[in-house]
Amino acid sequence: MMADRDPVQPLHEPALPVLDEEAVWVHDAAERFEDANAEELLAWAIETFHPKLAISAAGGVDGMVLIDMAAKISSDIRVFTLDTGRLPPETYQLFEEIRERYGIRVEFEQPDGEAVSELVTEHGPNLMYTSLDLRLACCNIRKVEPLKRKLATLDAWIAGLRREQWKSRRNIAKVELDRDHGGIVKLNPLADWALDAVWAYVREHDVPYHELFDHGYTSIGCAPCTRAVLPGESERAGRWWWEQDTDKECGIHCSVGLLGSKTDSERAAAPSVTDLVAVEASEIATPLARDDEPEEVEA
């Protein structure tokens, strides 16, 4: 009862506090559901966490499959999306179809208006093409922070990630402890699905899907940062396509830099080849004392 609540404690207390035994609980659940089908995992998640459980949907076909499956298990599921302000019009049309087909009122999470205003006033509306740091700043304000605010109200969330999508997703478990978001549970029921299987489900169950998939897109994101892919390109090649050697992540599903790629400022701060050659030359001229050995420079 609210009257018994300690007033200094936050209103929302995750059902699963971040304790080692909770990590073990999640690990056991991941093992138990690794070979289960997606519907079994969804049914368990709904029974365990509803109403503090929601599906994250951004217009991708994976999210639509999850919505269709979950809606067949319960008429009361929750779906949220990060409305970055830069989504293509077809994404809004898809959310209208979700509303009409499943009767789900998608929860739209908005970025902080003042932060967006300051960013685009300072750097322009298309700052994402200027540098990786600015692109990440935009993703942070429009996606990462709104997601944090949303997940602070939930005990578990469901994402449409699949292991084959991208190198940063190869090791995802079907049930994870999301330490980046207060230790709530993250579920990836389609982790072991192939793209062909996702589309087969869509066709078999007549699931609504994003119109841009009919125009060469294989992944859906913000309009300025997503393009159709060319034959032979990977599924996520159309995301931030102008960037080379980056994680192609925005920070909502894994920390950017997880794969070892560096931001612009980190690249600028790193010693250049010329600097390293100069250091080596000076070491030859003046050998360092043992306590003064240079730190290793990451590749």
Q: Which of 156, 256 has the CB closer to ligand SF4?
A: 256
Nearest approach in angstroms of CB 39 to ligand SF4 is 31
Nearest approach in angstroms of CB 261 to ligand SF4 is 16
CA atoms of 294 and 67, how far apart (whole Å): 53
Q: Which of 79, 222 has the CB closer to ligand SF4?
A: 222
CA atoms of 235 and 246, how far apart (whole Å): 15
Number of residue whose CB is nearest ligand SF4: 222
Nearest approach in angstroms of CB 138 to ligand SF4 is 3
- The reply to whether 250 belongs to the active site is yes
CA atoms of 113 and 117, how far apart (whole Å): 6
Q: Which of 135, 210 has the CB closer to ligand SF4?
A: 135
Nearest approach in angstroms of CB 177 to ligand SF4 is 26
Half-sphere exposure of 277 (CA within 13 A, CB side): 3
Q: Which of the following is catalytic: 138, 139, 222, 250?
A: 250
Q: What letters, b where the CB count within 10 A reaches 16 and e where it falls short, cover 13-39?
A: ebebeeeeebeeebeebbeebeeeebe
Nearest approach in angstroms of CB 144 to ligand SF4 is 9
Interacting residue ranges for ligand SF4, rule: CB under 6 A? 84, 86, 128, 135, 138-139, 142-143, 221-222, 224-225, 250
Active site residues per annotation: 250
